[in-house]
């Protein structure tokens, strides 16, 4: 394979030989010799309203800048999350009114958790 490489502004034409990696599958084992199907598992997922503003990452609530019933505009900063000593501003996706604030200052939140509901 021929490549063109530039180092400190000087172009070089280089020919490179690429070796293909050979992969082998190991042994595949299946569960016992029983004919009973495995029981289905269920996941516990907290439901989130379609109008909820959710946490994009895990962190703690540093500041809440709105109050319930307040009219907001798209792009307005609603609250600030702190994660790994960095602050992330959480903004309103649309115009509306703050319906409920589901978190408090200093509270830890998980990614995907509903922070604020917009009416």
Domains of the chain, CATH where assigned: 52-118 (2.40.50.100)
The number of angstroms, rounded, from the C-alpha of 83 to the middle of its chain's C-alpha atoms is: 13
* Separation CA 60–CA 91 (nearest Å): 16
| Dist. CA 31–CA 8, nearest whole Å | 58
Reading the block at residue 51, the tokens are 């109008």
Question: In tens digits, what is the pLDDT along the chain, a chain of 119 residues?
Answer: 687 888 888 888 888 777 766 666 666 666 666 566 666 655 444 556 678 889 998 999 999 999 999 999 999 999 999 988 899 999 999 999 999 999 999 999 998 899 999 98
> CA-CA distances (angstroms) from residue 21 to 18, 55, 65?
9, 42, 55
Which region holds residue 2: left if phi is over 0, alpha if psi is between -120 and 50, else beta? beta
- Could you tell me where the beta strands, DSSP code E, fall in 10-66? 10-15, 52-54, 59-64
């Amino acid at each position: 394979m021929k490549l063109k490489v530039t180092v400190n502004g000087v172009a070089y034409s280089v020919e490179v030989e690429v070796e293909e990696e050979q992969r082998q599958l190991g042994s595949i084992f299946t569960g016992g010799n029983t004919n009973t199907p495995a029981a289905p598992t269920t996941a516990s997922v907290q439901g989130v309203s379609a109008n909820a503003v959710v946490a994009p990452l895990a962190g703690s609530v540093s500041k809440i800048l709105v109050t319930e019933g307040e009219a907001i505009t798209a792009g307005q900063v609603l609250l600030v999350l702190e994660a790994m000593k960095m602050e992330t501003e959480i903004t309103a996706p649309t115009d509306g009114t703050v319906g409920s604030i589901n978190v408090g200052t200093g509270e830890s939140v998980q990614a995907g958790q509903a922070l604020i509901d917009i009416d």
